[in-house]
Amino acid sequence: MMSERIQISAQVPAEMDGDRLDQVAARLFPDYSRSRLQGWIKKGELLVDGGQLRPRDKVEEGMELAIDTEPEEVVGWKAQDIALDILHEDEHIIVLNKPAGLVVHPGAGHAEGTLVNALLAHAPEMAQLPRGGIVHRLDMETSGIMVAAKSILAHGDLVAQLQERTVKREYSAVCIGVMTGGGTVNEPIGRHPKQRKKMAVLAAGGKPAITHYRVAKRFGHHTSIAVNLETGRTHQIRVHMAHRHYPLVGDPTYGGRPRIPKGASEELVQALRGFPRQALHARALGLFHPETGEEVNFDCPLPEDMKGLLATLEREDPVVAGDDTLY
């Protein structure tokens, strides 16, 4: 039964002052389609400061957008018996370790065999939730920890936490090049102007994106880093690290061909050329439990492929003073 209502709200930030209501709603509530949001606006189920506006009406900084409506059951997605690595589960949330290669959400080219298909088989009640309970994503070839909502209460609360940037997300990555230290990348990200399947740092028109990183281990020609996200843009870590000229090992979209150190052993050559994906793993997640408000933290160990890559770099790409030549 769908007894819980969708009840979520958000304030218009300064950068959206003067924009159309439907456009602002789409950015503040990204888990709902624009057509659905427009329908709620027209039916008076999405109000602005308690009053009803038209989709094309302009909104101002500080106004509150509030949704109060009945959930709609998701149709057309097949429940499939796909193994899940569950780290935690209760009435409201499920925390999982997503393997590399698993698509999170059904879409073009991936109608079946996704994490959502697996979740619908494991917990059929999640079919009542927007996007099958998914509140954030990992790229198909990124492994690691994710949280999904199992109740309307949890869905609205988790979406709000992500918007308010109170969810803590830490990643482990291996980059090409030797970093001198950590730092922060604060550069907007948007769709690449010419290559529409890629994202890029944009001088104008991108969405705010902030990535913090620190050095975990330096090798001769590579660096293992820990990354914390303030925002969650598509391909954010991959785009920001490539922008800093430290692309991720194995990233076919933003990294290009692997750079092999001069005189590298065959083992190192094979490890770098044969690494099957971007070397990126979501290692830790911290949030406030939607029901209790208690801060909860979860960890997810490195997968075997990244452990193997780091072990090879430790043996075959040690730091050698004065040797930083690549070919």
Could you tell me the pLDDT band of residue 1, with boundaries at 50, 70 and 90? very low
How confident is the model over 223-240, as a mean pLDDT? 95
pLDDT at residue 319 in the model: 84
Q: Taking Cα atoms as reference points, which of 319, 326, 312, 241 lies closest to residue 280? A: 241
Q: Which two tokens stand for residue 49?
A: 């400061």
Give the pLDDT confidence of 68-113 residue by residue, as tens digits: 887 765 456 889 999 999 999 999 999 999 999 999 988 767 778 9
CB 45 within 8 A of CB 84: no
Give mean pLDDT, residues 254-275. 90
pLDDT at 209 over 80: yes
CATH architecture of 86-163: 2-Layer Sandwich (3.30)
pLDDT at 2 exceeding the cut of 60: no
**φ, ψ for residue 24 (rounded to 5)?**
-65, -45
Question: Over 80: is that where the pLDDT of 196 sits?
Answer: no
Give the count of beta carbons closer than 10 Å to the beta carbon of residue 135.
26
Contacts of 241-247 spanning 24+ positions with Cβ under 8 A: 241/173, 241/175, 241/185, 241/211, 241/213, 243/185, 243/187, 243/201, 244/183, 244/185, 245/177, 246/175, 246/176, 246/177, 246/179, 247/175, 247/176
* Mean pLDDT, range 178-191, rounded to an integer: 94
Q: Are 303 and 281 in contact (CB under 8 A)?
A: yes
Quote the CA–CA distance of 155 and 4 in Å, as a whole number. Answer: 11
Q: Which of 27, 23, 28 is nearest to 8 (CA)?
A: 28
Asked whether the predicted pLDDT for residue 248 surpasses 70, the reply is: yes
Domain boundaries, the chain: 6-69, 86-163, 168-316
What is the pTM assigned to this prediction?
0.78
The domain defined by 168-316 folds into: Pseudouridine synthase (3.30.2350)
Q: Is a pLDDT exceeding 60 seen at residue 326?
A: no
**What pLDDT is attached to residue 32?**
80
Least confident interval from 32-36, 258-262, 280-284, 316-320: 32-36
From the CB of residue 106, how many other CB atoms can be counted at a distance below 10 Å?
A: 20
Q: Closest by alpha carbon to 122, among 157, 155, 150, 156?
A: 150
Mean pLDDT over residues 223-227, rounded? 98
Residues 6 or more apart whose CB falls under 8 angstroms from that of 290 comprise 92, 93, 149, 151, 153, 154, 157, 158
Q: What is the pLDDT of residue 181?
A: 94
Task: Enumerate the active-site residues.
Answer: 139
CATH architecture classification, 6-69: Roll (3.10)
pLDDT at 296 over 60: yes
Angle between helices 21-28 and 34-43 (to 10 degrees): 120
Give residue 35's identity as a one-letter amino acid code: S
In this prediction, residue 18 has a pLDDT band, given cuts at 50, 70 and 90, of very high
Q: Residue 83: how many CB atoms within 10 A of its CB?
A: 8
Q: For the ranges 136-140, 190-194, 213-217, 297-301, which has the lowest average pLDDT?
A: 190-194
Please check whether the two domains, 6-69 and 86-163, share a CATH topology: no
- Best CA proximity match to 27, nearest among 5, 11, 41, 40: 11
Nearest-angstrom CA–CA distance, 287 and 174: 25
pLDDT tier at 194, thresholds 50, 70, 90: confident
Q: Parallel, antiparallel, or unpaired: how do β-strands 86-89 and 210-218 relate?
A: unpaired
User: How far apart are alpha carbons 105 and 112 in whole angstroms?
Assistant: 9
Strand 210-218 vs strand 280-288: parallel, antiparallel, or unpaired? unpaired
> Which residues are paired to 7 by β-bridges?
68
Question: Is residue 101 within 8 Å of 141, Cβ to Cβ?
Answer: yes
